[in-house]
Structure 1
Amino acid sequence: MSSVQIARYIISFSWLYHGILPKLIHIAPLEKLMTASLGLSESMSYLITKSAGVGEVIFAILLFVYYQSKVIIVLNIMALIGLLLFVVALQPQLLIEAFNPVTTNLPIIGLSLVLLNSLKAQPENNRR
């Protein structure tokens, strides 16, 4: 299996996992903490968390299918940076926890760069 396919699978799986398990199946305590820090009602926080989960699942599928799209890859990187900045601004104490956004987002950004680099090696007409 090529490094491009490994990157594709890991990035897609990460979005899928983080959308389904800690948001849709069971809202994880840290997810509740993050949305609560927005200062919204509990029902609105619940709705935002569930919506984010659906969005992450959709994005996982899009990225899996269109992994050769520069736009999708750049959106992925921007989303991961944005989510990391969200934690920095609202819950910076989470940055020192085990399995924190630094140790999850930065490697996925690195794998996204592998996908971007693979696009440079392809002729333009082979991309989606």
Structure 2
Amino acid sequence: MASNMLSQAAFLCRLGLGFLFIYHGLLPKILFLSPIEISLVEASGAGVPANIASPLAGVLEIVLGLLIALRLGGKPPVYLAAFALIILLIYVALLSPALLVEAFNPVTTNLLGLLLCYLILRLESPALQPDATGS
């Protein structure tokens, strides 16, 4: 019974984290290119136009979200998500720190995403899985 509850909790965490990446990849990067996304791409100085870089990043986020939500690839996509959330938060803090105090900001989004990563990895750890005897 407890194992089933842990599996359900891990599943819900995966759905939540997957949704986070799918939503942020699709809406502000592909369907409705956000002015904030444009300014972040331009601030990077990479020389790639935002109308190319943002949708490309959006596709990668959607793929990552699907891998996580559908449990494809096991734990590596979750580790990749955690790494990306940390790097992107640092990126925003360095290039556009004013965004960190906005109403819907990357601090809350990324920290909650990191919490979901931690919960998935913890809930799916072998230490929490029942052994072959069912105990």
Q: Could you tell me how far apart the structure 1 residues matched to 2:121 and 2:46 are?
A: 37
Q: Deviations over 1:60-108 (max 9, x none)?
A: 1111122682222111100100110110111111101111000101011
Secondary structure of the 1:37 match is helix
Distance 1:21 1:45 in 2: 15
The CA deviation at 1:51 is: 0.4
AA paired with 2:21?
Answer: W
2:102 counterpart of 1:97: yes
Gaps of 5+ in 2: none
CA distance in 1, matches of 2:75, 2:58: 23
Q: Distance in 2 between matches of 1:117 and 1:101?
A: 24
Report the TM-score, using the length of structure 2 for normalisation: 0.83
Q: Which residue of 1 aligns with 2:92?
A: 87
Report the Cα distance in structure 2 between the residues aligned to 1:3 and 1:72, rounded to whole angstroms: 18
Provide the alpha-carbon RMSD of the alignment. 2.2
Structure 1, unaligned runs of 5 or more: none
Question: Which of 111, 114, 117 in structure 2 is aligned with 1:112?
Answer: 117
Question: What residue is the counterpart of 2:129 in the other structure?
Answer: 122
Cα contact 2:14–2:71 (8 A) shared by 1: no
TM-aligned CA deviation for residue 13 of structure 1: 0.5
1:72 to 1:122, Cα distance in 2 relative to 1, 3 A: farther
Larger Rg: 2
**Contact 1:15–1:60 (CA under 8 A) maintained in structure 2:** yes
Task: State the identity %.
Answer: 35
Question: Size of the alignment, in residue pairs?
Answer: 124
Tell me the equivalent position of 2:45: 39
Q: Do the aligned partners of 2:25 and 2:62 also contact (CA within 8 Å) in 1?
A: yes
Deviation per residue, 1:35-61 (Å, 9 max, x gap): 1112355x6221111100111111111
4+ residue runs over 6 A deviation: none
TM-score by length of 1: 0.87
